[in-house]
Structure 1
Amino acid sequence: MRSTILNIFKEKAIWIVFVILFIAFSMSNHRFISSNNLFTIARQVSMLGIASIGMTFVILIAGIDLSIGSIITLVNIVAAYLMVKMGFGMVSAVILALIMSIIVGVLNGFLISTIGIPAIIATFATQIVFEGASYLICGGTPIYGFDERFKVIGQGYIGPVPVPVIIMIVCFGIGSFILNKSYFGRYFYAVGGNEEASKLSGIRVGHTKYLVYALSGLFAGLAGIVMLSRTNSAQPTAGMGYEFDVITCVVLGGVSISGGFGKMSNVVAGVLIIGILTNGMVLLNVSTYMQMIVKGIVLVLAVGFDSLQKKRALT
C-alpha cells in the first residue's frame, strides 16, 4: 500500500509542484490570477507547448535537437517573406514554410542517422546554419504587413479560448496518440531504452530517427507560425534561445534525458510550470538575468533528479 502511494506521488509530483507555484504567485501578486494575465500565460505557453511535443519524441530516443529555435526563426522569416515579398497567399505560404521545417528535420535525421554525427553536434551546426540563413533572407530587418486574417492564428479566439491554446491542445492530443496508440510510439520508447536491442528485434532504428527529427521540425514549424501570427512581425531573432526553454519543459516533465521513459501528460505540466514561472517572475519585477539563473537551476534540478533515479534503479 505504501509503495503504491509513493508511486502515485512520484507520477503526480510535477502537477503538485505546478499547484504550489500557482498558489505562491497568486498570493505574491494579485495581478497573477486576473483573467487577462491567465489568458496571456495561456497564449505564451502555447508556442512552448507545441515545440515541446517534437522535443519529447527526440529526447525519448535519447537524442537532442538544438536547432528548434533556429527552425522557429526560419519559419517566421520564410512564411513572412513569401506573403509580403513574393505575394503568396496565406495558406500556401504557411504550407510551404511547414514543408521546409520538415525538410530541416529530415536533414537533422540524415546527419545523425546516416552520417553518424552526434545529435548535439549535428543540431548545433544546423542551428547556426539556419540562423545565418534567416538573416540572409530578411537582410537582418523585420518583415511585416500581413493579411489581417493571418492574425487569427495567434491572436484570435473561439469563444473565450485563444486559438493558439486550441492549436496546442490539438497538437498535444496528436502527440499523445502517437506515443500511446501507434506502433511508432512503441518504437520511440524501444530505441531510447536500448538501441542495439531494438535493431536486433527488427526495428528500423535509422528510419525511426528520421521520423522523430522530421516531427520535431514540423512541431517547431507550427510553433513558429503561431509566433509569427501573434507578434505580427517576422524577427530574425524570433526563436533565439527557445530550445533551452523547450528542453527544460520536457525534462522537467519527467522525460528521461537518457531516453526510453516519459509521458506526454507530464510534459504539459512542465510547460505550464515554465509558463507561470516566467510570468510570475516578470510580475514580481525579477530581472531578466535572474530569470535566466532560475531557469538554469530548474533544468539542473530536473536532470539531477533523473540521474539519481537512474542510479537508484541500478543499485
Structure 2
Amino acid sequence: MNINLKNFFAKYAIYFVLLCLIVFFAFNSNVFLTPTNLINVLRQTAVVGIVAVGMTFVILTGGIDLSIGGVIACSGVICSTLMINGVHPVLAVLVAIGFAAIVGIVNAFFSHEFKLNPMIVTLATLQILKGISYILTSGIPVYGFTEKFKVIGQGYIGIVPIPVIIMIAFFIIGFIILRFTSFGQSIYGIGGNEEAVRLTGINIRKVKYKVYVLCSVLSAIAGIVLLSRVNNAQPNAGFGYEMDVITGVVLGGVSMSGGEGKITGVFAGILVMAVLGNGMLMMGISEYYQWVVKGIVMLAAISYDKIIKKGR
C-alpha cells in the first residue's frame, strides 16, 4: 500500500501542485482567473513549452541541452537580419531553423563522439551563440518586419493565440512519438540502460543526434515565435529560458538521469512555472524575488527527482 501511494504521488503530485497554485493566486488576486489573464498565461507559456518538448527528448536519453537560450536568440537574430535585407520571411525562417539544426549536430558530436559531459558541451555552445548574436546585431535590437510575420506570435484563431496552438501541436506530436514509435522507445531505452540498448542493435549514435537536433530545431521555432510576438530581435532574447524549461521538465516527472517520465507531465510542469511567475507578478512581487523563488523550485524539483529515484 505504501509503495502504491508513493507511485501515485510521484505520478500526480505535479497536478496537485498546479491546482494549489491556481487556488492560492485566485484568492490573492481578483484578476488572476479572468479569461484575459488565463489566455495571457498560456501565451507566455508557449515559447517555454515548445522548447520543453525538445528538452524532454534530450533528458530522457540522459543528456541535457543548456544551449537553448542561445539558439532562441540566434534564430531570432538570423531570421530578422535576413528579412530586413529583403529575404522572404519563409526562407529566413528556414535558414534560422537550418542553423539551429547545425547547432544540434555540434552538440551531439562533441557529447557522443568525444564522450564529453553534455552539460559542459552545451554550456560552451551557449557562450558561442551568445557571441554570434551580439556580433550580428552589434548589441542593437533589429526592427522592421511585415505585418504578416507578426501573425505567428500575435495572431489568434478564434480566442486562442496562435503560439498556444503551435505549442499544443508539438506536445501532441511529442506524445505520439514517445508513446507509439520505435524511436520513442529507443529514447527511453537509452536513458534507462544504454548498454542493454546497444546490445539489441539499436543505433544509439543516430538516436542521440536526432534528439539534440530536434531540441535545437524546436528552440529555433520558439525563437521565431518570440521574435514575432515582441516584434524585434534582441541579441539577449532567450538567455535564461533554460532554467524555466529544465525546471518545468523535471517538475513534470522526467528523471534527470533519463529513461523515465511522460510528456503530459511536462505540460503540467511548464504550466506550474508560468502560473507561478504570473501569480507573483499579479501580487506585485519584485522580479528579483521571483528569481529566488524559481531557483528554489528548481532545486526542489531536482532534489525530489533524486529522492524518488533513490526510493525506487
TM-score by length of 2: 0.97
Q: Deviations over 1:111-150 (max 9, x none)?
A: 1111222101110110000110011111110001101101
For 2:16, the equivalent position in structure 1 comes to 16
Within 2, Cα distance between the matches of 1:110 and 1:8? 39
Match of 1:125 in 2: 124
Partner SS for 1:66: coil
Q: Cα distance, 1:3 vs. partner?
A: 5.6
Give me the whole-angstrom Cα distance separating, in 2, the residues matched to 1:110 and 1:165.
33
Distance 2:50 2:271 in 1: 12
After alignment, is 233-242 or 95-104 more displaced? Answer: 95-104
Aligned residues of 2:10 and 2:253 also touching (Cα < 8 A): no
Task: Name stretches of at least 5 consecutive residues in structure 2 with no aligned partner.
Answer: none
Report the residue type matching 1:77 in the other structure. Answer: V
Please identify, of 167-176 and 106-115, the stretch whose mean Cα deviation from structure 2 is larger.
106-115
1:236 is matched with 235
Amino acid at match of 1:10: A
Q: How does 1:273-284 map to 2 (within 5 A)?
A: 273-284=272-283
1:227 maps onto 2:216 in alignment: no
**Greater alpha carbon shift after TM alignment, 111-120 vs 219-228:** 111-120
- The answer on 1:170 being equivalent to 2:163 is no
**Distance across 1 between alignment mates of 2:119 and 2:5:** 38
Distance 2:35 2:251 in 1: 26
The answer to whether the 8 A contact 2:10-2:308 is kept is no
Partner of 2:291: 292
Measured after TM superposition, the shift of residue 11 of structure 1 is 1.6
Amino acid of the residue matched to residue 14 of structure 2? I
User: Does the residue aligned with 1:31 lie in a helix, a strand or coil?
Assistant: coil
The within-5 A match list for 1:1-315 is 4=4, 7-84=7-84, 86-313=85-312
**TM (normalized to structure 1)?**
0.96
The C-alpha deviation readout for 1:5-53, integer Å capped at 9, x for no partner, is 6544432221111111011101100111122211111110011100001
**What one-letter code is carried by the residue in structure 1 that aligns with 2:176?**
F
Aligned residues between the structures:
312
Task: Give the whole-Å Cα distance in 2 for the aligned partners of 1:5 and 1:294.
Answer: 28
Cα distance change on mapping 1:116 and 1:3 into 2, 3 Å: closer
Write out per-residue CA displacement over residues 202-226 of structure 1, whole angstroms, 9 at most, x where no aligned residue. Answer: 1211111101100000110111011
Equivalent residue letter for 1:31: V
The one-character-per-residue Cα deviations of 1:89-120 (angstroms, maximum 9, x if unpaired) are: 11111111111111111111111111222101
Q: Secondary structure of the equivalent of 2:258? A: coil
Provide the C-alpha distance between the structure 1 equivalents of 2:3 and 2:126, rounded to a whole number of angstroms: 44
CA distance in 2, matches of 1:8, 1:193: 21
Structure 1 stretches of at least 4 aligned residues deviating more than 2 Å after TM superposition: 1-10
Percent of aligned positions that are identical: 47
Give the whole-Å Cα distance in 1 for the aligned partners of 2:265 and 2:311. Answer: 21
Counterpart Cα distance in 1 of 2:236 and 2:299:
26
Q: Deviations over 1:131-186 (max 9, x none)?
A: 10011111110001101101110000001111000000101011111111111111
- Hey, what's the Cα distance between the residues in 1 that align with 2:129 and 2:149? 24
Separation of aligned partners in 2, 1:185 and 1:311: 25
Alpha-carbon shift at residue 2 of structure 1 (Å): 7.3
Secondary structure of 2:259 counterpart:
coil
What SS does the aligned partner of 2:31 have?
Answer: helix
What is the one-letter code of the residue matched to 1:216?
C
Aligned counterparts of 1:61 and 1:154: Cα–Cα separation in 2: 31
